[in-house]
Amino acid sequence: MVEAGSVRGCRPVVKPFFLILNLAVGGYWPGDPNGSTAFPQQLLVDYVRVSTDSGQPGGGAITGIGGKCVDVAGANSANGTPIQLYDCNGSAAQQWTVGGDGTIRALGKCLDVASGGTANGSLVQLYDCNGSVAQQWAVPAARDIVNPQADKCLDATGGSSANGTRLQIWTCTGAANQKWTAPDGGSTPPTGPGAMAVAPYLYNGWGSPPSPTTVMNATGVKWFTLAFVLSNGYCDPQWDGGRPLTGGVDQQTIATVRSAGGDVIPSFGGWSGNKLESSCGSAGELAAAYQKVINAYGLKAIDIEAAAYDSPTVQQRTVDALKTVRANNPGIKVYVTFGTGQNGPDNSLISKAAASGLTVDSWTIMPFNFGGAGQNMGQITLRAAEGLKNTVKSAYGYTDDQAYRHTGISSMNGITDNGETVTVNDFRTILGYAQQRHLARLTFWSVNRDRPCTGGGADTCSGVSQQPWDFTRVFAQYAG
């Protein structure tokens, strides 16, 4: 199979191949070819991904300190066999598969924390795969391998790279004996231009949350923005400030989405509740709180909803913390979401970020709750988005094209909190604008509400005439 898309930084390769396209009657192809068009034509492909017909995930070595490989001692597949460092030799004992279900496997068994231990020094072994939390591992961009239950990192004992060094779990320190290069997972979610950008909000806190797989199967959307990570009153991240970071319904949701080939973007903040950005006393503490969530789930992206952060001190703390997150997690996507006026947002947070040297992947506005029914919310959204583009362009010295590619829209479907009506046709208007300008993000609040009303409240339905998932289907068409 050949898959084409766009990946920044890849070297172009010219290689002839045949591409067979099945176009439905009434379809469209750029350039409007007709009976007089000369063939062959040239197709520009930004990248090519090749996979085998079997579709099975491939294995590979996990390398660590000293260039040594993670190794099953003696190539013994018995339960309890120690996991160690050893010279890389290409044997089956060093071929590991990072699964989309959170497991890491070799020789048909799973990487396991012995006896389900969570203390520093708990040894790692090979064991029958049993679905326990002792066999769950997150592999974030920072190159740690983290057991979320223990919130500890895979660690080469004593910082040694000698052959036979046992592996254990230990408090994450960022040291070389905790850094690993692992093969890609077998169920890597799509990360093309439109895939991650379209991640409707899903909230387990209210609104009879829909089954994410139902939405995925019905619409083709693969990513969700999972709301909300808050403070428990201290600098400690929890879902909604009260549900555990791991082990609860939110972790189950993430596992469900990933098992179906998708992924999630946790959103920090929201309108109500205690915010980490205010509860944490310093940028360093806030960055550590963000990192705890990143490590727990091996995240590829985070969203900071800064709608309630009017304090200059809190804004600067957030900016400085995100700079640390950027430095410690190469490749992670950072989205910042906030409210806006009809002509664009306040520029204070964007200006602070630009002055501090922080770039984010998308400055995203929420263009609703202006007040008053009967307004054309599609056109108002476009006007606010143009204002955002101009603010970002001015702050960073971008061209128009660069500014558009660093901005996004997070709408609200149906009847808003202030009585405005955002229709499916408004979503089509917004989609067309985003497609033409290649916005970095196109999402909405929320998939919980993307259902017709049959007596439910505003948290369970849109309040307008629709079929289930109509709004999601529109934005799912976004190609980036």
Q: How would residue 208 be classed by pLDDT, with cut points 50, 70 and 90? A: confident
User: Which residues 6+ apart lie within 8 Å of 391 measured at CB?
Assistant: 344, 345, 347, 350, 363
Domain 65-178, CATH number (from 2.40.30.10, 2.80.10.50, 1.10.3720.10, 3.50.50.60): 2.80.10.50
For residue 272, list its beta bridge partners.
Answer: none
CATH number of the domain located at residue range(s) 201-475 in this protein = 3.20.20.80
| Sequence ranges of the domains in the chain | 65-178, 201-475
Rounded to whole angstroms, the Cα distance separating 108 from 100 reads: 16
The predicted model gives 39-53 an average pLDDT of 45
Q: How would residue 28 be classed by pLDDT, with cut points 50, 70 and 90? A: very low
The predicted model gives 144-171 an average pLDDT of 91
User: Which residues 6+ apart lie within 8 Å of 436 measured at CB?
Assistant: none
Q: Give the tens place of pLDDT for each residue, 274-325.
A: 999 999 999 999 999 999 999 999 999 999 998 667 899 999 999 999 999 9
User: What pLDDT was estimated at residue 59?
Assistant: 74
User: What pLDDT was estimated at residue 192?
Assistant: 53
Closest CA to 427 of 469, 392, 371, 372: 469
Per-residue pLDDT at 3 exceeds 70: no
Q: Which residues are catalytic?
A: 305
Per-residue pLDDT at 22 exceeds 50: no
Cβ pair 224, 212 in contact under 8 A? yes
Backbone angles phi, psi at 425, to 5 degrees: -65, -35
User: What pLDDT was estimated at residue 40?
Assistant: 56
Q: Give the tens place of pLDDT for each residue, 236-260.
A: 999 999 999 999 999 999 999 999 9
Among residues of the chain, what percentage have pLDDT more than 90? 68
User: What pLDDT was estimated at residue 273?
Assistant: 85
Q: How would residue 142 be classed by pLDDT, with cut points 50, 70 and 90? A: low
User: What pLDDT was estimated at residue 455?
Assistant: 60
The predicted model gives 159-181 an average pLDDT of 93
Cβ pair 370, 418 in contact under 8 A? yes
The predicted model gives 181-198 an average pLDDT of 66
Rounded to whole angstroms, the Cα distance separating 302 from 322 reads: 10
